[in-house]
Amino acid sequence: MSPALPASEEFSYRNHRLHCEDVALDELATRFGTPLYVYSRHAIEAAYNAYASALDGRPALICYAVKANSNLAVLDVLARLGAGFDIVSGGELARVLAAGGDANKVVFSGVGKSEAEIVTALKAGIACFNVESNSELDRIDAAAQKLNLRARVSLRVNPDIDARTHPHISTGLKNNKFGVAYADTLALCRRAAAKPAIDLLGLGCHIGSQITEIAPYIEAVDRIIDLIDALVREKIELRHIDLGGGLGIRYRDELPPLVSDLVSALLARLDARGQRDKTVVVEPGRSIVGNAGVLLTRVEYLKPGDSKNFAIVDAAMNDLIRPAMYDAWMNVVPVVPRSLERRVYDIVGPVCESADWLARDRALALEPGDILAIAGAGAYSMAMSSNYNARPRPAEVMIDRTHAHCVRSRETVEELFATESCLP
């Protein structure tokens, strides 16, 4: 019997070997080594197309949140489908442009945009800055005046909504650092509308991540429409509404709404409240790439004990920090299942931290040398990796049916300190 895989349908067992599309994952581990990130091109495309079909017939911009997974091949696959991009740094803008993305479909989010980042984005001609504070608005206006350009902006509102997700990934509550305080938004809109080099396009919000209910989105959109209505009375007309990202995926037994259900509920609300003319911007990250990737890791040692059995693997918290950082549960399955008796293991890495664990209390039949796949590792996984313990980061492979493209080669140890030097 093959283990359950609550991931994308592009990952499945064929003849007792886990495959990504038409490629056997044990072969990839041999060919490229481990730890290894593996992404399915078709899973990414299917996830993007779910948003595209749900928004079909509406003026809309689907801006993939680059921070979830910024590999150039991922951006390339999405750019070819016509995606826009949600960025949070100048580095992400450079990645989007290097991958062939359209600057005029880029929205720039984040609380701390530097002057240099703002200038670069203005020169590139991005679609919109999602402004998060009064002083940021001033900075963008000044930069645009200096360049003799106009800056399109949207205000990111903090709607003070509880998205009922993990506190580390909740962003729409009053005590989060994100967005303009709800009570200050109208005043800031008036200021924006009066600024010489600012075009105020819209309002938006992003209330958190791994959200598994529709209700918080509806609450947030209602609060934003209240503001839009108030602005109309002051003759300030907006053109777009940005609903942010945040839709959850299934890691274990979560039941997040389908993209089609979430989007139709939101569109219905916009229509009911007279907002049919607005361009709808969405910023999905995790729900595009999360279940399109796995991390392959090899069992180095089995370390049985009185109270715990450990399976020590060659991937660690520096490669995949979600369990250590968010207590995230990620599914771990054998690439080639064995018919041995199962034991309960904690799956841990070689890094010298007790927080270096990838999974706890998993019943698995293991031998040293076995390859495990950690599912749901397409989002916030490689993107959050580090070189802690002088560990070179994994290679990344994109599968396209029968082809395995190496889209990032494994780092070498020499690269890790190539920019460092000893004292003269």
List residues binding ligand PLP (CB under 6 A). Answer: 65, 67-68, 86, 109, 206, 209, 244-247, 283-287
Q: Among residues 250 and 360, whose Cβ is nearest to ligand PLP?
A: 250
Nearer to ligand PLP, 28 or 169 (CB): 169
Of 296, 313, 317, 299, give the one whose Cα is nearest residue 389: 317
Kindly tell me which of 245 and 323 has the beta carbon lying closer to ligand PLP: 245
Quote the least distance from Cβ 150 to ligand PLP, whole Å.
23
Tell me the two tokens of residue 361: 């209390």
- What is the nearest approach in angstroms of ligand PLP to the Cβ of residue 110? 7
Least distance (Å) between residue 143 CB and ligand PLP: 21
Find the catalytic residue in 20, 205, 352, 422: 352
CB 156, min distance to ligand PLP, A: 7
Nearer Cβ to ligand PLP (247/295): 247
Question: Does residue 352 carry a catalytic annotation?
Answer: yes
Residue 246 CB, nearest approach to ligand PLP (Å):
4
Instruction: Give the nearer residue to ligand PLP in terms of CB position, either 63 or 351.
Output: 63
Q: State in angstroms the smallest separation of the CB of 289 from ligand PLP.
A: 8
Identity of the residue, 11 or 129, whose beta carbon is nearer to ligand PLP in the bound complex: 129
> Active-site residue numbers?
352
